[in-house]
């Protein structure tokens, strides 16, 4: 990397460490005051176009005036590290010179006003006023004085002397320590700008470590100097080789604070994590994943590296860290086969020995979110529930039970699981939120396990009042729809149910239907007409009057005798196996392998068969592949029609 000398505004140069090419664009300049001596020139700002492979990004840098018509672009480390005077003073410095005398410290501490501190400093010679004394005096002022008095003193000669001494001779840690005290004094804009510009100059001189750069970014952002924080990317790019497993998490933590240079930094860290993932500690991974979540759209290679790390270290990671990692991966919407195998190994090894209930909740939420029907994980969690139900917190009951219903998975411990659930709900019914009770009950119905003992409690007026008063209107509407679905499912499937308890819904309203299904219906309309035997022998998007008007009960295609379309003409109770319901299943209607239907979709099929319809299921992905091959599509439709599920007996 080398510094760029710009004559007027023309320059094209190479930048090493972060880019392949850097094209300097000096079209916009923002002049600012320099915190160094006058010989170094004024600091200005510009941008460069940075190319990394096929990616080109405009990034900010700082420049300094080198002559009347020349500027030096500071994006490198090949610049003077110190002004000559600073180098000479540093060469003769001794530990005794930089040690703060106790009597000076005591004198500053005894001062009660700003004028007292400034008068004491004014009486000191240049040799007596060290950076440490200046830093302590400034911290004393920031700690004890009001903002108004500090604003009045900010432009005074003695205050500027303190600032100049600190910025010129103080080390970086001292500067960062003093600047951090300005987080609550944002009106001292001139002082904050002086600190940020000095840190930027040291960054471009390559005098800041990776840790110091990260701390400088955090302090600048908290002090309102976001534009200055964006320019520290050059230091991180120059020290990319120093970013390793010891400080990788620290750098990731500052990435969400940046906006303009975030993509470049994430790309740099993506390359570094691929090289040093094996040495990461669990605490570092727990730091990295939430940072990636805040940044959004994490690189795939980074997620693969973290998945490999988890696979390698799953045997020695503690429960708190694993819970945080699984939760973050769920929020990041990332899962792969290696990750699933790692969690499977953990549950098989630990199982009922797991101490944290929230870890079981995180594992089941992970499986439910990604539709992972892994019987080792699910059986391990069900066994944990049976063994620890007596100590289980009520708020976790819904999160533990509903994934089994959503994934349409019957636990291997069968009746013990359901008996335990019944006893737990009986003990904790009054402490459970109404929405949790309805969700757990509906999950049981998905698996054809009917909670008859709780029906009267659910349809109790007091329970319904609590449900309507405890949540926002949109949540109440969702709970009411779930309750209606539960009532209908119990009436159709459970012979011992006394319902339905709720009145039939005759409200005219629109129901959302997935746009992919609508488009597919339009694309295969001609093929359906050929299979049905005419355009008057099928209808699309049909509701049955006996079922609630929900997305779950839409019949995508209804095959019927000529002229008998329309829900008001159907008599499914007496005319069985005459009509055929054709359902198009999207990928998310199945588990992750595409082998098993979800609990709600399985119940949907049962309901239509209970209503006297034959049911044909079509896979959306198969239709999407075959729609450009008419013969194969017709053959697929005919084959599925022949495999139609008959209606249940009346």
3 state SS for 135-147: HHHHHHHHHHCCH
When pLDDT is cut at 50, 70 and 90, the band that residue 113 belongs to is: confident
**Looking at the predicted structure, is the pLDDT value of residue 574 above 50?**
yes
What pLDDT score was predicted for residue 1?
A: 37
SS3 180: helix
% of residues, the chain, pLDDT over 90: 56
In 3D space, the residue among 648, 559, 553 whose CA is nearest the CA of residue 609 turns out to be: 648
When pLDDT is cut at 50, 70 and 90, the band that residue 507 belongs to is: low
What's the average model confidence in pLDDT over 306-310? 96
**Looking at the predicted structure, is the pLDDT value of residue 296 above 80?**
yes
What pLDDT score was predicted for residue 26?
A: 36
CA distance 585 to 590: 8
Query: Which two three-digit tokens encode residue 574?
Result: 């007496």
**Looking at the predicted structure, is the pLDDT value of residue 545 above 90?**
no
Q: Decide if 51 is inside a domain.
A: yes
- Residues 534 and 606 placed together within one structural domain of the fold: yes
**Looking at the predicted structure, is the pLDDT value of residue 99 above 60?**
no
What pLDDT score was predicted for residue 91?
A: 39
Neighbouring C-beta atoms of residue 232, cutoff 10 Å: 26
CA distance 633 to 624: 10
Q: Decide if 271 is inside a domain.
A: no
User: 460 Cβ partners below 8 Å, 6+ apart?
Assistant: none
CA distance 446 to 552: 13
**Looking at the predicted structure, is the pLDDT value of residue 437 above 80?**
yes
Q: What angle do CA 425, 431, 436 make, to 5 degrees?
A: 65
% of residues, the chain, pLDDT over 70: 83
Q: Which of 64 and 318 is assigned the larger pLDDT?
A: 318
The strand pair at 614-619 and 580-585 is best described as parallel
Q: Is the dihedral of CA 521, 523, 525, 527 positive or negative?
A: negative
User: 399 Cβ partners below 8 Å, 6+ apart?
Assistant: 361, 364, 365
When pLDDT is cut at 50, 70 and 90, the band that residue 54 belongs to is: low
What pLDDT score was predicted for residue 40?
A: 44
- Residues 543 and 579 placed together within one structural domain of the fold: yes
- Residues 59 and 141 placed together within one structural domain of the fold: no
Q: Decide if 67 is inside a domain.
A: yes
What's the average model confidence in pLDDT over 450-456? 94
Confirm if 291 and 253 have CB atoms less than 8 A apart.
Answer: yes
- Whole-number average pLDDT of the chain: 84
When pLDDT is cut at 50, 70 and 90, the band that residue 61 belongs to is: confident
CA distance 49 to 515: 41
Enclosing domain of residue 54 = 43-75
- Residues 195 and 129 placed together within one structural domain of the fold: yes
Q: Which of 24 and 194 is assigned the larger pLDDT?
A: 194
What pLDDT score was predicted for residue 105?
A: 64
H runs (alpha helix) in 241-353 = 248-254, 262-276, 282-295, 300-313, 319-331, 337-350
Q: Which of 548 and 639 is assigned the larger pLDDT?
A: 639
Q: Decide if 635 is inside a domain.
A: yes
Q: What angle do CA 379, 382, 385 make, to 5 degrees?
A: 155
What pLDDT score was predicted for residue 24?
A: 40
What pLDDT score was predicted for residue 47?
A: 78
522-542 pLDDT tens trace: 999 999 999 998 888 898 988
Q: Decide if 373 is inside a domain.
A: yes
- Residues 68 and 152 placed together within one structural domain of the fold: no
- Residues 71 and 163 placed together within one structural domain of the fold: no
pTM: 0.83
In 3D space, the residue among 596, 593, 582 whose CA is nearest the CA of residue 517 turns out to be: 582
- Residues 596 and 527 placed together within one structural domain of the fold: yes
When pLDDT is cut at 50, 70 and 90, the band that residue 53 belongs to is: low
- Residues 49 and 145 placed together within one structural domain of the fold: no
Question: Number of folded domains in the chain?
Answer: 4
Q: Decide if 560 is inside a domain.
A: yes
Query: Which two three-digit tokens encode residue 531?
Result: 């299979």
What pLDDT score was predicted for residue 547?
A: 86
What pLDDT score was predicted for residue 205?
A: 84
Confirm if 625 and 586 have CB atoms less than 8 A apart.
Answer: no
**Looking at the predicted structure, is the pLDDT value of residue 615 above 70?**
yes
- Residues 417 and 536 placed together within one structural domain of the fold: no
SS3 17: coil
**Looking at the predicted structure, is the pLDDT value of residue 599 above 60?**
yes
**Looking at the predicted structure, is the pLDDT value of residue 593 above 90?**
yes
Q: What angle do CA 473, 479, 482 make, to 5 degrees?
A: 145
Whose structure tokens read 């005759």? Answer: 506
Confirm if 144 and 113 have CB atoms less than 8 A apart.
Answer: no
3-state secondary structure 401-448: HHHHHHCCCCCCCHHHHHHHHHHHHHHHHHHCCHHHHHHHHHHHHHCC
7-18 pLDDT tens trace: 333 333 334 344
Q: Decide if 362 is inside a domain.
A: yes
- Residues 71 and 158 placed together within one structural domain of the fold: no
Highest mean pLDDT among 221-225, 239-243, 439-443, 645-649: 439-443
What pLDDT score was predicted for residue 199?
A: 93
121-150 pLDDT tens trace: 788 888 778 888 888 888 888 888 788 888
**Looking at the predicted structure, is the pLDDT value of residue 172 above 60?**
yes
What pLDDT score was predicted for residue 144?
A: 81
When pLDDT is cut at 50, 70 and 90, the band that residue 196 belongs to is: very high
Q: Which of 75 and 225 is assigned the larger pLDDT?
A: 225
Query: Which two three-digit tokens encode residue 470?
Result: 């405890």
Nearest 5°: phi and psi at 537? -110, 10
| Domain end (from 432, 459, 486) | 432
What's the average model confidence in pLDDT over 93-117? 63
**Looking at the predicted structure, is the pLDDT value of residue 157 above 90?**
no
Largest CA distance in the chain: 107
Residues forming beta bridges with residue 557, ordered by sequence position: 540, 582
**Looking at the predicted structure, is the pLDDT value of residue 603 above 60?**
yes
Confirm if 195 and 178 have CB atoms less than 8 A apart.
Answer: yes
197-229 pLDDT tens trace: 999 989 988 899 999 999 999 999 999 999 999
What strands lie across the sheet with 555-559, from one edge to the other?
538-542, 555-559, 580-585, 614-619
Q: Decide if 530 is inside a domain.
A: yes
Confirm if 588 and 371 have CB atoms less than 8 A apart.
Answer: yes
**Looking at the predicted structure, is the pLDDT value of residue 87 above 70?**
no
Segment holding 60, helix H or strand E: strand 55-65
- Residues 51 and 135 placed together within one structural domain of the fold: no
User: What's the burial of 216, exposed, middle or buried (CB within 10 Å: 0-12/13-18/19+)?
Assistant: buried
| Domain end (from 432, 458, 485) | 432
| Domain end (from 182, 202, 222) | 202
455-498 pLDDT tens trace: 999 999 999 999 988 778 889 989 999 999 999 999 999 999 98
558-567 pLDDT tens trace: 998 886 655 4
- Residues 133 and 54 placed together within one structural domain of the fold: no
What pLDDT score was predicted for residue 65?
A: 62
């Amino acid at each position: 990397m080398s510094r760029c000398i710009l004559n007027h505004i023309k320059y094209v140069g190479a930048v090493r460490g972060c880019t392949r090419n850097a094209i300097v664009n000096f079209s916009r300049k923002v002049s600012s005051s320099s915190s160094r001596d006058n010989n170094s020139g004024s600091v200005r700002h510009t941008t460069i176009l940075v190319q990394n492979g096929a990616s080109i990004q405009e990034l900010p840098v700082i420049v300094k005036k080198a002559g009347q018509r020349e500027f030096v672009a500071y994006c490198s480390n090949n610049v003077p590290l110190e002004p000559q005077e600073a180098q000479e003073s540093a060469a003769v410095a001794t530990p005794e010179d930089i040690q703060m005398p106790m009597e000076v410290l005591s004198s500053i501490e005894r001062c009660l006003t700003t004028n007292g501190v400034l008068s004491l400093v004014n009486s000191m010679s240049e040799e007596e006023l060290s950076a440490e004394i200046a830093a302590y005096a400034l911290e004393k002022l920031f700690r004890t004085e009001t903002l108004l008095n500090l604003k009045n003193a900010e432009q005074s000669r003695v205050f500027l002397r303190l600032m100049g001494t600190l910025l010129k001779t103080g080390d970086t840690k001292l500067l960062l320590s003093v600047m951090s005290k300005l987080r609550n004094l944002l009106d001292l804009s001139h002082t904050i700008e002086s600190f940020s510009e000095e840190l930027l100059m040291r960054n471009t001189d390559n005098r800041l470590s990776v840790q110091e750069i990260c701390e400088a970014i955090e302090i600048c952002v908290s002090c309102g100097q976001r534009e200055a924080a964006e320019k520290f990317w050059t230091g991180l790019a120059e020290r990319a080789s120093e970013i390793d497993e010891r400080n990788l998490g620290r750098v990731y933590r500052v990435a969400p604070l940046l906006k303009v240079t975030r993509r470049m930094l994430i790309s740099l860290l993506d390359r570094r994590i691929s090289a040093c993932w094996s040495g990461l500690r669990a605490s570092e991974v727990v730091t990295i994943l939430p940072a990636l979540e805040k940044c959004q759209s994490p690189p795939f290679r980074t997620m693969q590296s973290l998945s490999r790390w988890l696979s390698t270290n799953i045997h020695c990671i503690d429960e708190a860290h694993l819970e945080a990692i699984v939760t973050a991966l769920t929020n990041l919407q990332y899962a792969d086969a290696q990750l699933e195998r790692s969690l499977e190994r953990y549950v098989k090894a630990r199982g009922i020995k797991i101490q944290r209930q929230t870890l079981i909740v995180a594992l089941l939420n992970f499986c439910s979110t990604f539709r992972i029907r892994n019987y080792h994980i699910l059986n391990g969690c069900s066994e944990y529930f049976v063994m620890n139900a007596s100590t289980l917190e009520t708020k976790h009951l819904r999160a533990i039970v509903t994934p089994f219903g959503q994934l349409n998975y019957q636990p291997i411990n069968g009746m013990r699981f359901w008996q335990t659930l019944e006893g737990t709900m009986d003990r904790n019914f009054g402490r459970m939120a109404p929405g949790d009770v309805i969700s757990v009950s509906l999950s049981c119905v998905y698996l054809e396990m009917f909670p008859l003992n709780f029906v009267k409690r659910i349809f109790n007026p007091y329970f319904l009042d609590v449900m309507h008063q405890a949540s926002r209107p949109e949540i109440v509407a969702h709970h009411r729809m779930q309750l209606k679905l539960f009532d209908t499912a119990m009436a159709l499937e459970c012979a011992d149910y006394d319902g339905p308890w709720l009145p039939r819904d005759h409200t005219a309203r629109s129901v959302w239907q997935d746009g992919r299904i609508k488009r597919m219906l339009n694309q295969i309309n001609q093929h359906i007409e050929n299979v049905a035997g005419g355009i008057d022998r099928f209808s699309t998007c049909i509701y049955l009057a006996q079922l609630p008007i929900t997305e779950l009960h839409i019949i995508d295609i209804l095959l019927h005798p000529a002229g008998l379309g329309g829900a008001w003409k159907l008599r499914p109770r007496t005319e069985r196996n005459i009509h055929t319901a054709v359902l198009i299943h999207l990928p998310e209607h199945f588990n992750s392998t595409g082998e098993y239907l979800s609990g709600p979709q399985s119940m949907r099929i049962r309901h239509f068969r209970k209503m006297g319809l034959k049911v044909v299921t079509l896979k959306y992905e198969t239709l999407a592949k075959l729609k450009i091959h008419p013969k194969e599509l017709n053959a697929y439709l005919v084959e599925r029609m022949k495999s139609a599920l008959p209606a249940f007996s009346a």
